[in-house]
Structure 1
Amino acid sequence: MKTEFITLNEERQVTLTAYLQETGGAFPYILKRPAILILPGGGYQYCSDREADPVAMPYLKAGFQVFILRYSVNCHSAWPNPLNDYEQAMSLIRKNAEEWKVYEDKIAVLGFSAGGHLAGCAATMAKEKPNAALLGYAVTKASDVALCEPEGPDVNAAVDEHTCPCFVFAACNDQIVPISNSLAFLQALAQHGVTFESHIYAYGPHGFSTGDTSVQPAKTQMCSRIPSWVEDSIGWLRDVFGEFGETCMEEPECKSHVNGDFEAMLSGDCTFGYLRTCPEAGAVMKPILGWIQEHLAEIMEHTGLIPAKTVQEQGEECFYAIADDRMLKEILRYAKLPKEVENGILGALSKIPNPRRKRKDKTGGAV
C-alpha cells in the first residue's frame, strides 16, 4: 500500500491523505477499486483523529482506496470554505482516478457530526457530487448547523431527486446532535425517492466513531450493536456499487431511487399512481386503465385484498388505493395483457422524458 499526503490549501491547513492499495499483480482480478472520502467531525473547530485513521482501516480491508480530508476549521471554517475543500478533494481524486486506480463513478463520502453536515452538503449541493454518502450522527437541520457554523446551509432543505443514495447512522439519545437531524434527513430522502439505509441505535454517546474499545472506553454507556454499522455500511456500499468481479465491478443490486418516479425517463419501475396521473403517459396508460375498468372485480378477488362488497360500492378508487404505490410492472403481472401490448406499453414509456425531471431542469436544476 502507498500513502500520499497532499496539501490542498497551506494557509487554511487543508490536507488530503490517500491510502492507495495495489491493483493487478497479486490482485489480477482487480484493475480499479471503489473509493471512500472520510470527513472527520469536530464541530468545525477541528478534525477529530478518532474519526480519521481508525475509520479508514475497515474500508481498506474491504478493498477500497481511502482518502481522509482535513478541511477548513476553526478560524478558517467560514462557509463555503469547507465545501470548497471537499470540491477540491473530490475533483483531485477523479482527476487522478487512472493513476490512483479508482472508479470515478464509485466514490463515497463518509462524514461524522459536522463532517456529516459537510457530507450531506456534498450529496445535495456540490458540483462534484459523490456517488454515495454515509452520514454518522450528522448535523443537518439549519437551527443546529448554525450552532457550529453560522453560515452553514440546511442539508434537509437541499435534498432532491439528484441526491445520491445515503447510509445514515446515529444514537437515539445523542446529547450533542439531536436525533431529529437524522430523522428529518431521512424523511427528506423518502419524499424524493432516494434510496437509503438507516441504523438508529437505542443509546450511545455522540462521536462514537467505529464504536470499538480502541476509540471508546470499555465502560461507555453504548448499545452493543453500534460497532455493527461499519460492516453494515460496507455491505450497503457493495449493494450500491457492486461487488468485485472478474476485472470489473459487478452490477449493483440496489438502484439510486426506490422506484422510477424520479428517474430521467418513464418506465415500468414508476409507480402506477404516478403514471396514471401523468398527462405525458396518458395515451400509453390507456390500455391498462381500460383493462382495469373491465376486470376490476376479478382483480380484487384474485388479490384478496378488498372484499367484493367494497369493490361494488367504491369502484376503481378502492383499487387505486392499494395499487398506486406499486410499480407498474407489478400491476402488469396481474393484468395478463397480450405480451405485445405489455411490451408496447413499457417500450413507449421508455421514450418519454419524466416531466418531474423536466420541470426541475426549467428552474435551473441539473439532470
Structure 2
Amino acid sequence: MRIETITLNKKRNVTLTAMLQDVGGEFRGVTKRPAVFVIPGGGYMFCSDREADPVALPYLKAGYDAFILRYSVKEDSVWPNPLNDYDQAMDYIKERADEWNVMTDKIAVIGFSAGGHLAGAAATMSKNRPAAAILGYAVLREDTTHEISDGPSIVDAVDEKTCPCFLFATRTDNVVPIQNTLDMMSALNRHNTSFECHIYDFGPHGFSTGDTSIQAKSTLISERAKNWVEDSIGWLRDVMGDFDENGLTKPVCKAHITDDGEQWLSLDCTLRRIFGNPEAVKVLADTIERMRKEIKPFSPEMTFDDMMLGVLGKMKMRDLLAERGIDIDKFDEMDEKLSKIPNI
C-alpha cells in the first residue's frame, strides 16, 4: 500500500490523503478497486483524527482504497467551501483514477457528525454524487445544521437522485439529536431510496468505530454499536458489488426499491407499471398467461387485471414471480426484453 497526501487548497489547509492498495499479481482478478471517501467530524471547527485513519483501516482490510478529506473549517467553513472541497477532491481522484486504479463509479462517502452533514450534501447536491453514503450520528436537519454552520438542510435536499444510504446513531446522543437520523430515514423512504439504519440504544456522540482504543472502556456505550463497521461493509457489498474473479459482482440491492423511476422497464418495476404498458404485456405474454392460471383473484368480483393494477400493484414483478415460483429460470431473458421498452 502507498499513501499520498495532496494539498488541494493551501490557503484553507484542505488536504486529501490517498491510501492506495496494489492490484493484479497476487490480487487475482482485481484490476481496479472501489473506494471509501472518509469525511471526519468536528463541528466544522476541526477535522477529528479519530474519525479519519481508524475509520479507513477496516475498509482497507475489506479491499477498498480509502481517501480522507480534511476540509475547510473555522472561518473558512462558510458554505459552500466544504462542498467545493469535496467536489475538488473527487475531481482530483477522477483525474488520477487510471494511475491509481480506482473505480470512480464505486466510491462511497463516510461522514461523521458535521462530516456527516458534508457527506449528506455530497449525496444530495454535489457535482460528484457518490455511489453510496454512510452517515454516522450525522447533522442532517435544518435546526441542527444551523447550530454549527450556514449550510443547507440535508433532509430537505433528498431527491430521486440521492444514492443509497447507511445510517447509524445512538438514541442517547446528546449532541446531535436522534431526530436527524429518523428524519433522514423518512426522507429516503419517501423517495423510495434504498437505505439501512441502525439506532443503538445508548452511547455517546462521536464514538467513531467504537473500539476501546478510541472510546474509553469506562464509556457507557452499547457493545453492539461497533457492529456498524462490519454491517456497513456488508451493506456496501450489497449496493456496490463484491469482489470476484472478474472484478466486482453486480449489486444485489438497487439504489431504489423499484425501477419505476428508471428510463427502461425491468422486472424490478411494479406490477402496476408492467401491466399498464401494452408493449411489456406483449413481450411477457407467456409468463402472464401462466400467472393467470396460477394466481387467482381474491374475490369473484375481482378480475386478474384488477388485481395486478390494484391490490398487488405496488409489488415488484420479480418478487411476485419468485414468490409463486413462476418462470424463475427466465428472469434474465425477461429483463433483457424489458430493458428495450421505454418506461412510460
Does the alignment reach a TM-score above 0.5?
yes
CA distance in 2, matches of 1:91, 1:69: 13
TM-score (norm 2): 0.88
Which structure is larger by alpha-carbon Rg, 1 or 2?
1
1:109 aligned residue: 109
Seq. identity, %: 51
CA distance in 2, matches of 1:347, 1:68: 40
Residue 109 of structure 1: SS of its match in structure 2? strand
> CA 1:49–1:8 in structure 2 vs 1: closer, same or farther (change >3 Å)?
same
Q: Deviations over 1:268-306 (max 9, x none)?
A: 2111234456xxx256458999x99xx9898347xxxx5
1:350 aligned residue: 339
> CA 1:125–1:48 in structure 2 vs 1: closer, same or farther (change >3 Å)?
same
2:207 aligned residue: 208
CA distance in 2, matches of 1:12, 1:128: 21
2:41 aligned residue: 41
Q: Which moved more, 1:312-321 or 1:175-184?
A: 312-321
1:363 aligned residue: none
Q: Deviations over 1:43-92 (max 9, x none)?
A: 11111111011111111111111110000111100000000000011111
CA contact (8 A) 1:284 1:345 kept: no
Taking the TM superposition and a 5 Å limit, the aligned residue runs for 1:1-367 are 1-150=1-150, 152-276=151-275, 281=277, 284-285=280-281, 299-300=295-296, 311-312=299-300, 322-331=311-320, 349-355=338-344
CA contact (8 A) 2:274 2:280 kept: no
1:365 aligned residue: none
CA contact (8 A) 2:275 2:308 kept: no
More helix, by proportion? 1
TM-score (norm 1): 0.83
Q: Which amino acid aligns with 1:176?
A: V
> CA 1:287–1:72 in structure 2 vs 1: closer, same or farther (change >3 Å)?
closer
CA contact (8 A) 1:36 1:64 kept: yes
Q: Give structure 1 stretches of 5+ with no counterpart.
A: 356-367
Shift of 1:182: 1.1
Q: Which amino acid aligns with 1:242?
A: G
Q: Which amino acid aligns with 2:22?
A: E
Residue 134 of structure 2: SS of its match in structure 1? strand
Shift of 1:264: 2.1
CA contact (8 A) 2:275 2:309 kept: no
Q: Which amino acid aligns with 1:323?
A: L
CA contact (8 A) 1:193 1:261 kept: no
Q: Which amino acid aligns with 2:226?
A: P
Shift of 1:331: 4.5
